[in-house]
Amino acid sequence: MMRKNDLDDGLAKEIADLLAHGIRQVTIKEMKRAVNELGYTFDRYFDAKGICTNLTGKLAGVRFRGCSLSLRQMDNGISPFHYKDARRDKNFEKLQKFRGTLFAVRNGYIYTF
């Protein structure tokens, strides 16, 4: 059975690993501002919270609380990854490069998009 302390220990290990790999820790507000500048926003209705488990590497088996944030285009609310109707402009290219470069921690969860 998993204990709360196991998740807290896993959270600390995951944060340390992210920072060691050059992933920058910011606030959710800073994360939102950065995606807003590219013409995107978060649709918090679709937050995907859960228990994440590292499957490989030195942290294999380490578990932590995670939340994946859902992105939407600000002008029409469509997912930037929609196969047909999403924009494919320079801001989309910047967003693609930007993903995975930062994370936030709030209420015991690691937030990414």
pLDDT digits (tens, 9 = 90+) for 52-108: 999 999 999 999 999 999 999 999 999 999 999 999 999 999 999 999 999 999 999
**Neighbouring-strand partners of residue 55:** none
Cα gap 19→12, rounded to integer Å: 11
Cα gap 78→72, rounded to integer Å: 5
Report the pLDDT value the prediction gives residue 80, as an integer from 0 to 100.
96
User: pLDDT tens digits, residue range 2-45?
Assistant: 566 889 999 999 999 999 999 999 999 999 999 999 999 999 99
86 with 80: CB under 8 angstroms?
yes
Q: Is 0.85 surpassed by the pTM of this model?
A: yes
Report the pLDDT value the prediction gives residue 32, as an integer from 0 to 100.
97
Cα gap 8→18, rounded to integer Å: 15
User: pLDDT tens digits, residue range 38-67?
Assistant: 999 999 999 999 999 999 999 999 999 999
Which value, in Å, is the radius of gyration of the alpha carbons in the chain?
Answer: 15
Report the pLDDT value the prediction gives residue 4, as an integer from 0 to 100.
66
Nearest 10 degrees: Cα torsion 72, 78, 80, 82: 140
